[in-house]
Structure 1
Amino acid sequence: MPSKYRPARLRSCVLAAVLALCALSTPASSADGVPAGRLVAEVPRVAVTDQAARAIVVLDPEQIRTYLAGRRRVGYWSWSADDDLSLARLSPGRSWTNPSEAKTRSLDGSQYLLTTASGGLAAVVRYPDGKVRWAANTGAGNAHSIELMPDGNVAVTSTTPGTVRLYTASQGSRSTAYTSYRLPGAHGVHWDPASQRLWALGANQLISFGITGTPASPHLVPDGAVTLPTSGGHDLAPVLTQPGRLWVTTSSKVYQYDLAKKEFVGYPDQASISRKDVKSISDEPVTRQVLTAMPEPGNPCSWCTSTLTFHSPDYTRRLDGIQLYKARWWTTQRR
């Protein structure tokens, strides 16, 4: 069994019993804005990017309460490019520096971790066996977010020099051909199945793209641009409890953008959720709880935190010893 999948880290009998008792399956009205069959939510888990441990770690509720210094990467599941010998030629020692994204998507009956690192590596990793579907050293500065397309291609945003790239990942596990669009400060990227558009977030704009051509030779066609209410666009994510909306964070605020109305709109608990420098935001479709991560003073990494911030109800959880950049609900979205 691949070393990336660590069943020993699942807390044997007691935790298994907790998971069995708490697991639930609920109909999803829609994920990503389209009917998604059933969205399985078991125990709500959280995926975090631990830049100190150079790993993506998925934690269940009990582990969120007990995560301690010196026990990094001890979670329900974890993955690191450092552990995968098949990625050696992509120089993970450099390209996997500062993991910057962790989200999950579902395609063709399989669930995947989508991840990037500021050093340039981008990867699509099957969950839970850890097999890499696609990976590349983008060679770009600060690869920041990633999206899996319905045809198997992969979109990646990088802040330096500021690009949205669409890789032909459907053509092979190490395919590096891509089409590119210049977007200053490119940070977030998200595919919306309802509108059949790829959305990308830059420093000052939210842009939509149509995709033309073929999977082997795709083209990004910008067909809409929205100026952000405040500058410093950072995170872009679907609002799972309100299909047809996107979370948008900037240097100073957290917004929701309504795709049908083509405008930024108010949302529940906005006063407590909207804060400055929110690096990631997501909502859990069953509990409807919102999770955010933002830098905190005193962390060895100035852009990181050791605190998960929950909203509705509001509370925080500290993960001692971690240098957390982003945190997201581990919620599958079908492609």
Structure 2
Amino acid sequence: MQRRSILRGLAAGAIAGPSAALLGNTPAQAATSYYVATTEQVKNRVLVFHKNGAFSDANIHWSFSPGGGSWANLSDIKIRSTAAQGWIALVVASGGKAGIINIGSEKHTELNDLKWQATPGGNPHAIERIPGNGSVVVASSAGHLTVYAPSSVSNLASLAKVQTVNLAGAHGVLWDPTYKLLWAIGKGTVRGYAVEGSGRGTRIRHYGAAVSLGSSNLGHDLQPDYSNTQRMLCTATDGVYEISTAGGSFSKRKISSETRVKAYVRHSSGEAISVRADNTGARTWGSPTVRFSASADRTRGGAEFYKARIWTPDFQ
């Protein structure tokens, strides 16, 4: 894709169709219950629970347990859908690893269930997959984005490293299907990258799409607002922001001055789900509680949650 094509697309401001249902065949706008995927770092597991039940072992809907070592401190989980494999889980760990698991009939998955893994290093914090292209991008807080591209889109195991892009403090990545941009959050900025090429020739390029957070403000989480396809949500050192993408004119609005928010996402119903670091214990950056703005918070004794996501493959 050439630069002029990208800029033309941004100017046109085309709006994508409504997102798919969050659960089953019910329209997303009507969903009143849903599952939440979390990264829990004490026992180091991805744990998925229904938001209306206790976050107990008996209520685990799905889990991934990679063990420790380079898989220590799981830091992101995203659910995506592929034509060949159906639903997959994208995971990264601050210990240095990234991987993909097929989500099938098995309720509890482990390291040997990985279909692909790599070592981007540099404290990986987030992961995303480019739909159709099949490439995977990992954000590492040491200051870079790593691009892995497949020789065959339908073969997860064919992913191989093709590019490293510098981005200071890289903490989050999210695909925007409306503007065909990969957004990444780092120190002082949320930056949009165009995806060019295919197969092992895939590369990402920054052509100017960006939102400033302020030079001293470190971005943390970057997530969709499922109640508005023209909006993203991000957390940073000084609070929580909404980022408007309407019409291709990118801007931010601060919605909270609460600090230490490590995860923030909004369901189609308008309910916000978040994790705020409690600044105590061995993992000061985590919390045993996942918060819900319109229903009861959920606390799991002895846990340290870092990220919370809505259990859906939708990008918006």
TM-score by length of 1: 0.77
SS at match of 1:279: strand
How many Å apart are 1:170 and its aligned residue? 5.3
Name the residue aligned to 1:122: 98
Map 1:1-335 to 2 at 5 A: 34-35=16-17, 38-41=20-23, 43-61=33-51, 63=53, 65=54, 67=56, 71=57, 75-82=60-67, 93-108=68-83, 110-128=86-104, 129=106, 131-138=113-120, 140-150=121-131, 151-160=133-142, 162-169=143-150, 171=152, 172-173=156-157, 175-224=159-208, 225-229=210-214, 231-260=217-246, 261-265=249-253, 270-271=255-256, 274-285=257-268, 287-311=269-293, 313=294, 315-333=296-314
RMSD of the alignment, in Å?
2.3
Q: CA deviation at 1:240?
A: 1.2
Note closer, same or farther for the CA distance 1:214–1:61 as it changes in structure 2 (3 Å cut). closer
Q: Is the 8 A contact 2:220 2:236 kept in 1?
A: yes
CA distance, structure 2, for counterparts of residue 50 and residue 281 of structure 1: 16
1:298, distance to aligned residue in structure 2 (A): 3.5
Q: Deviations over 1:157-207 (max 9, x none)?
A: 0011x0011111454516332212100000000111110111111111111
Change (3 A) 1:275 1:227: same
Give the conservation status (yes or no) of the 8 Å contact 1:36–1:334: no
Query: Matched residue of 1:333: which SS?
Result: coil
Give the conservation status (yes or no) of the 8 Å contact 1:295–1:304.
yes
**Partner of 2:197: helix, strand, or coil?**
strand
Assess if the C-alpha contact under 8 Å between 2:49 and 2:55 holds in 1.
no
CA contact (8 A) 2:95 2:123 kept: yes
Quote the offset at 1:226 in angstroms.
Answer: 2.5
What one-letter code is carried by the residue in structure 1 that aligns with 2:61? Answer: Y
Asked if 2 retains the 8 angstrom alpha-carbon contact of 1:299 and 1:323, the reply is: no
Any unmatched runs of 5+ in structure 1?
1-32, 83-92
Task: Check 1:281–1:122 CA distance in 2 against 1; reply closer, same or farther (3 A cut).
Answer: same
Q: What's the counterpart of residue 28 of structure 1?
A: none
* CA offset digits 1:250-295 (Å, max 9, x no partner): 01110011113311136xxx35xx521111111222x321100011
Q: Percent identity?
A: 28
Give the Cα separation in 2 of the matches to 1:127 and 1:326.
19
Taking structure 1 as reference, are residues 66 and 278 closer, same or farther at Cα in structure 2, changes over 3 Å only? closer
Distance in 1 of aligned mates of 2:315 and 2:243:
21
Unaligned runs of 5+ in 2: 1-14, 25-32
SS at match of 2:69: helix
Aligned partner of 1:228: which letter?
A: L
Q: Deviations over 1:187-243 (max 9, x none)?
A: 000111110111111111111111112221111110123221460111111111111
Aligned AA (1:98): N
Q: Aligned-pair distance for 1:334?
A: 6.0
**2: CA distance, partners of 1:167 / 1:192:** 18
Letter in 2 for 1:209: Y
Distance verdict in 2 for CA 1:308–1:66, change over 3 Å: closer
Over 3 Å counting, the alpha-carbon distance change for 1:334 and 1:226 in structure 2 is closer
Measure the CA separation in 2 of the matches of 1:232 and 1:76. 33
Deviations 1:122-151 (A, max 9, x none): 11212134553432122x121000001111
Task: Tell me the distance in 1 between the aligned counterparts of 2:94 and 2:226.
Answer: 27
Aligned-residue offset at 1:74: 6.4
Output the amino acid matched with 1:251. T
1:299, 1:306 within 8 Å by CA — same for their partners in 2?
no
